[in-house]
Amino acid sequence: MPNIIYLDNASTTKLDPVVKETFSSALDKYFANPSSIHKLGQEANYLLNKTKDEILALLRCSDHQVIFTSGATESNNLAIKGVCLRYKNRGHHIITSIYEHPSVLEAFKQLEKEFGFEVTYLYPNSDGVISPQDVKKAIKKETIFVSIMAVNNEIGSVNPIEQIADLLKDYPKVIFHSDAAQLIGKTNKNINFNKIDLLTISAHKMHGLVSSGVLIKRKKIELLPLASGGGQEYNLRSGTNDLASALAFKKTLELALSTSKERYLRVENLANRLISYLKSNPYLYELNLPKEINPYIINFSSIKKKGSVVVEALSNAGIMVSSISACHSSKEKGSYVVASLGKNELISNNTVRVSLDYLNTNEDIDTLVSTLDKIIKDIR
189 φ/ψ angles, rounded to the nearest 5 degrees: -105, 155
Q: Which residue(s) pair with 147 in the sheet?
A: 96, 177
The answer to whether residue 327 is catalytic is: yes
Distance CA 211, CA 203 (A): 8
CB 105 within 8 A of CB 73: no
Q: Which residue(s) pair with 5 in the sheet?
A: 319
Q: Given 31, 140, 327, 333, which residue is catalytic?
A: 327
* Count of C-beta atoms within a 10 Å radius of residue 214: 27
Among 113, 114, 108, 137, CA closest to 125: 137
Distance CA 319, CA 314 (A): 5
Long-range contact pairs involving 101-104 (C-beta distance under 8 Å, separation at least 24): 101/72, 101/76, 101/149, 101/153, 101/179, 101/181, 101/325, 101/327, 102/325, 102/327, 102/328, 102/329, 103/72, 103/73, 103/76, 103/77, 103/179, 103/327, 104/76, 104/80, 104/147, 104/149, 104/179
- Say how far residue 118 (Cα) sits from the centre of its chain: 25
CB 99 within 8 A of CB 336: yes
Distance CA 179, CA 191 (A): 14
The region that residue 71 occupies, defined by phi over 0 for left and psi between -120 and 50 for alpha, beta otherwise, is left
What does the CA dihedral 20, 25, 31, 33 come to, rounded to 10 degrees? -60
Question: Would you please indicate which residues are annotated as catalytic (active-site) residues?
Answer: 327
